[in-house]
Chains A and B, each alone.
Chain A
Amino acid sequence: MIRPHRTHPLWYAYMAHRLSGLALVLFLPAHFYVLGLALTDMAAFDGFMTFASHPLVKLAEFGLVFLLAIHIFGGLRLLALEFLPWSAPQKTLAAATVAVAFLLSGTFFLQAV
C-alpha cells in the first residue's frame, strides 16, 4: 500500500489541532446561546439543564471537553516549540497532548455520570 507524505505524528497533531479548533468555534455560539437563556427565559434554561443530564448528552459533553483539552495541550506544545527552543521531543509532546486530554476528559466524564 502506498502511504502518502502526510502519515506521520506531527501532521496528525496539526490536523487534530485544526479540527478540534473548528469544532470548538462552531460549538461556542450554541454554548453562549444557552447561557444567555438565563437572562431572558429561566424556564427554558432549567429545561436545558434537565436535557443535559441525558446520558447521550453527557457523552457529547465528554467529546467537547476532550476537544478543548486536545486544543489547549496541543496549543501549549506549539507555544513551547515556537517561543522556547524545544524542538527535539516534539513527537513525545504530541502524544502527551492526547494522553493528558484523555485523562482530563475522562475525569470529567466520571464526575458527570
Chain B
Amino acid sequence: MALQSLDIKRRSATTTPPPGVRKSPEVAKLIDISKCIGCKACQTACMEWNDLRDDIGKTTGIYDNPRDLDENNWTVMRFSEVELERGKLEWLIRKDGCMHCGDPGCLKACPAPGAVIQYSNGIVDFHEESCIGCGYCITGCPFDIPRISKKDAKAYKCTLCSDRVSAGVEPACVKTCPTGAITFGAKEEIIHHANGRIADLKGRGFANAGIYDPEGVGKTHVMYVLQHADKPGIYSNLPENPGISPMVSLWKGAAKPLASLALGAVAAGAFFHYVTKGANEVSEEIEKEFENEKR
C-alpha cells in the first residue's frame, strides 16, 4: 500500500512528473541464500506485520508451503534439491517475492494512473485503491510476482515494508530472520556487505559465488547472494537475464502515442477532405433522368 510521499520517482500511467521534491537514498534488501535455513520465519513475519491470513491450505508432500505467491502471501520460500557434482547434494532455498526493479515491468504495463508507484529509494509499491484489476502488472513483470486477489480483484505483492522503511526501520522479514540471511540498508553499503560474503564463499570453495542484481531490469532493490551465480536457474528458475519483454516495451512504448496521433490524423483528414472536396452527391444528370422518368 503506497504512502503519501514527496519522494516519488515514477508513477504508473502518468505523463507528467510525480511529486518528487524529496530524494531519499537507495535502499536494498540482500537475501544470502548460503545462510538461509528455510525456517519460513520471514513468511510468518510478513503475514504478521502486514496482517494477512491465508486460508489453511493443503500439504502437497514438499517443503514449499504455501505452494505459490498469492494476495495473502507476498513472499514464499522455494526449495530445490540440486546435485551439481555427483554425490554432493545441495538444498537451495530461495525466498521469492518482489525484486523492486529499477525499471519495473509492472509499472510500465499498468494503465491506471498511480496504481503502481516507485519511490526514489527504489521501493516499488502498489496502491490498491487505484488498481482496476486488469492484471497488466502480471503481464509486465519479468519475475512473475504480482497476484490478483480472487476476492477483490486487486493486485498485491511485497511492499518491501514501505511503511516500516519510511519510519526508519527494516522490513519485517529482515527483522525476524534468525540467521542473518536477510539484511537491509543503503544499497551501496549492502553491496559492500555482499562482496564480503562472496569473498568468504569463494574462499570456501564456491568459485562462482556472486551477487544477483540484474542489469536488464535496471538492477534491483532486492538482491541475492548466490553460491552459483553462473546458474541462477537452479534456484527455482530464477531468470538468468531478466528484462522487460520486448513485446511489453513495444506494447507500452512508442506504439501507443503514435497510434493515438494516427487516429487523430484520420479524423482530421476526413474532416478536411469534406471541407475541401465537399459531399459525394447524386449527379444532376442522373437526378434529371429520374425526374423525366416520373413524368
A and B found bound together: no
